[in-house]
Amino acid sequence: MNTSGLMRELLELCRRVYDKGFVSGSGGNISAKDGGDMLITPTGRNLGALAEGDIVRVRLTRNGPGKNRESVVVGSGIPSQEWRMHCRCHERPDVACVLHVHSSYASAVSCLEIDSACGMPVYTPGYSVRVGRLPVVPYFRPGSAELASAVGDHIVGTAAAPGRNSVLLANHGILSVGASMEQAMNIAEEIEENARLFLLLGGRGRPLSETQQAELAGTY
Ligand SMILES: [Zn+2]
């Protein structure tokens, strides 16, 4: 997709995320890969009110996202304070979009003591296929290099574990990635819905078994 098409789709996604109530105030941030750069939402702005001139272009450096943000910005603007986290996730070649939101139910679950390997019980087929195991990243200060590194290890993967498409950030929110913006948004919506069910059920739910989840693989 060319840059103007990408920009239009990114702004539409920002609006959709805002309309869904997945962010409030100036919270949340979204980026889209554009060749060797990423287009990312600016710091301190409401995602529901952005225009093309507000989006910031950041160079995806091969040396990792450790430099200060002024040195990686191409053109003007100040990127989201979570730009390092986005840079790190874009290191995975098939990632086209990184979406980070503070949706209410998922954020509530992120404040519970839950299994850090699985995140939440799996209740529905859609959640099983699109999310399944949701790793929990321990709390780190928003915008910190530590948060970027911890999230990136799960999304990009390590020698010991392949990359995942989503994580729950303890006492913070969620992050999802996709080969398209729609895919990243679908994952975020599945997580929010499963979190809502989890809280509604109050521990009385009957999760899908491992066998039932295995049967679903590749059916969506
Ligand atoms: Zn955040």
pLDDT at 2: 83
CA–CA distances in Å: residue 175 to residues 8, 119, 156, 188, 213: 21, 13, 13, 7, 22
Q: Which CATH number fits the domain that encloses residue 177?
A: 3.40.225.10
Block means of pLDDT (10 residues each) for the chain, 220 residues, are 90 97 95 96 96 95 71 90 96 97 97 84 93 95 96 94 95 98 97 96 92 84
- Half-sphere exposure for 49 (CA within 13 Å, toward CB): 8
* Amino acid sitting at position 72: V
Tokens of 54: 């507000």
Query: Taking a C-beta distance cutoff of 8 angstroms, is the pair 38, 11 a contact?
Result: no
pLDDT at 63: 67
- Rounded to two decimals, what is the model's pTM? 0.94
Grouping H, G, I as helix, E, B as strand and the rest as coil, residue 16 is helix
Q: How far is the CA of 213 from the centre of ligand 1 (A)?
A: 30
User: Number of structural domains, the chain?
Assistant: 1
pLDDT at 219: 67
Domain extent for 117: 3-216
Q: How far is the CA of 202 from the centre of ligand 1 (A)?
A: 26
Residue 177 gets which letter from DSSP?
E
